[in-house]
Structure 1
């Protein structure tokens, strides 16, 4: 499902559909994390990427009034570079799978202890990772406000305020 939705996301010419396919692809990635019993990583995947990034992308598309617009057809050179990049990524992935020799690694439960992750994120004595998360949330908020400001037509705020008074 993940690969299918990812391919649909990059091949569709409708911008809104591409964002929805991206949403389904990221939910599928979270499903793979759940399947691997990495529940914390799956929850973060859903909260940050599905709940934050994709919603921000969809709001940006809707606010710029480009939801129904069709993107232009890519040129032949763009298609060739895209296939070259995808083929290179697939080749690197296959090489890594061959190097890993599936079945020899057993790290079940070693990296996914939620209490240890929580302590690492919040403990000020060690690293204090809470501040970077707050900075990222402020960055997302600022980018969303920026999208709204860019999407508004010039003078739309002034006209709206004049109607209220």
Structure 2
């Protein structure tokens, strides 16, 4: 019963922060609400006893990606951010709803075609052991993800170096 209660609390935090993230007009508040969403997702991982995924969620996404967003926001001039106002028309809203429905139908179709839902519901307790997840994430065999992790780390390093180069002020030549 306590797990269901905690799940409901995390779900409310995630959904509320996600709605506030996309509806606020201030970009730093949007980044802050995104941080709350990522922390809520990490809380769900900890609730499921997936401590590795929870810690990775906090360190990589909540820590790293949100900081990259905030640095990018800070590098853009205030004049550029103050002048941005986007008008939302009905056609854009209808296109967004239509694309969301197409995405939902695609995801449900893939899940039904590959029998993800049936295998998760009917196979034993429906849980995947943490050793299997760890081997898939950090293994170097076919369909394992250590190489993409390395590419992402090099990409983030390049982003940090690029941000430093853009932010650094050039000396005036006299």
- Note whether the superposition's TM-score is higher than 0.5: yes
Aligned residue number for residue 96 of structure 2: 82
CA shift digits 1:137-156 (9 cap, x unpaired): 1210111222343455xxx3
Match of 2:50 among 29, 38, 43: 38
Counterpart of 1:135 in structure 2 is 151
| Gap runs ≥5 in structure 2 | 1-12
How do residues 26-65 of structure 1 correspond to structure 2 at under 5 angstroms? 26-65=38-77
| Partners of 1:35 and 1:91 in 2: CA distance | 29
- Count of aligned pairs: 153
- Partner SS for 1:113: helix
| Change in CA separation of 1:14 and 1:27 when aligned onto 2, cut-off 3 Å | same
Give distance in 2, aligned partners of 1:133 and 1:100.
Answer: 28
- Check if 1:72 corresponds to 2:85: yes
Q: Which has the higher contact order (CA 8 A, sep 6+)?
A: 1
Secondary structure at the counterpart of residue 82 of structure 2: coil
TM-aligned CA distance change 1:100 to 1:120, over 3 Å: closer
Q: Which moved more, 1:75-84 or 1:18-27?
A: 75-84
User: Quick check: which one's helix share is greater?
Assistant: 2
Partners of 1:11 and 1:140 lie apart in 2 by: 28
CA RMSD of aligned residues (A): 3.6
CA contact (8 A) 1:16 1:68 kept: no
Question: Matched residues in 2 for 1:112 and 1:87: separation?
Answer: 33
